[in-house]
Amino acid sequence: MSDTTPQGQEDLKEILEALLFATDEPLTLKQLVEIAGTPGGGNDPGSLSQEGVLAVIDQLNRAYEETGRSFQIVKVAGGFQFATRQEFGVWLGRMVREKSKRKLSVSALESLAVIAYKQPVTKPEIEGIRGVNADYVLHTLLERGLVTIAGRAATPGRPLLYGTTREFLKHFGLNDLSELPKPREIDELMAEAEYEVEKRMLAELESKKAGIDDGEEAGTAGESEPAAGNPPVEGPGEAAAFDDLTRDPE
């Protein structure tokens, strides 16, 4: 369907909104045309142009402004993406500060370590090392200001490169990256930590064993033995049998 028809315009609006909402990186006009102009996108690839996409983006922004929306489509880094309006910056700043108070998760620390030692590094490389998706973790690290986009790799697709920031150095008390622990030092620290854990567990086991042994000894000592010269206490049946044996025959 052509993007010049009314129905085509409405379809294109929805498609562009979906693409710009879902992307984590700015999409260029060329990318938007290639994606939205596919047969599955509902538009004729031959009729969709960059000018047509740009016109629809302008229409969307006017509609957002007329309806008092808090967001808009902006052009950044050669592409387009959603962004909140400037007047809401105060509240967004409060949210960012609140998020910055949270501790880093284990996943975030692992990804941060990969970036620190391998930088500049791409998201696919981080995911290849850790074996899990890194979208959310990278978003968190970027929000905290611990990593930054350092450029694009000279590989197919031109993926973004990530590196650490001055905030990263301040956060971990480093003067520069040369002060990062060497792999050998990390191995030594890990081995020492494992030794301390094993030592503590062994001490706990020995303490528990000693407590059990003391309890058994106390129980044995508490068992009374018959005093010398005193016969053991007999039950009624045993006493009667003894009387029958010792009674003088008549």
Q: What pLDDT sits at residue 149?
A: 93
**Do 4 and 52 meet the contact criterion of CB atoms below 8 Å apart?**
yes
- For residues 33-45, average pLDDT: 64
Options 1.10.10.10, 2.60.40.420, 2.60.40.1840, 3.40.630.30; CATH for 110-174 is: 1.10.10.10
Rounded CA separation 201/215 (Å): 21
Q: Give the N- to C-terminal CA distance of the chain in Å, as an integer.
A: 132
Total-model pTM: 0.42
The domain spans of the chain are 6-90, 110-174, 180-208
199 pLDDT more than 80: no
Tokens standing for residue 217? 């000894």
Q: What pLDDT sits at residue 138?
A: 93
Least confident of 5-9, 124-128, 141-145: 5-9
7 pLDDT more than 60: no
Rounded CA separation 51/36 (Å): 13
142 pLDDT tier (thresholds 50, 70, 90): very high
Q: In three state form, how does the secondary structure of the chain look? A: CCCCCHHHHHHHHHHHHHHHHHCCCCECHHHHHHHHCCHHHCCCCCCCCHHHHHHHHHHHHHHHHHCCCCEEEEEECCEEEEEECHHHHHHHHHHHHHHHCCCCCHHHHHHHHHHHHHCCEEHHHHHHHHCCCCHHHHHHHHHCCCEEEEEECCCCCCCEEEEECHHHHHHCCCCCHHHCCCHHHHHHHHHHHHHHHHHHHHHHHHHHHHHHHHHHHHHHHCCCCCCCCCCCCCCHHHHHHHHHHHCCCC
- Tell me whether domains 6-90 and 110-174 share a fold: yes
pLDDT digits (tens, 9 = 90+) for 167-187: 899 888 888 888 888 877 667
Do you find a cis peptide bond into 120, omega within 30 degrees of 0? yes
212 pLDDT more than 80: no
Rounded CA separation 108/110 (Å): 5
147 pLDDT more than 70: yes
Q: 32-41, 43-52, 140-149, 219-228 — which one is most confidently predicted on average?
A: 140-149
Rounded CA separation 93/83 (Å): 14
- List the CATH code of the domain at 6-90: 1.10.10.10
40 pLDDT tier (thresholds 50, 70, 90): very low
Q: What pLDDT sits at residue 191?
A: 72
**Do 39 and 52 meet the contact criterion of CB atoms below 8 Å apart?**
no
Least confident of 2-16, 18-32, 61-75, 210-224: 210-224
Least confident of 55-64, 81-90, 185-194: 185-194
Query: How many residues does this entry show for the chain?
Result: 250
111 pLDDT more than 90: yes
41 pLDDT more than 50: no
Q: What pLDDT sits at residue 12?
A: 87
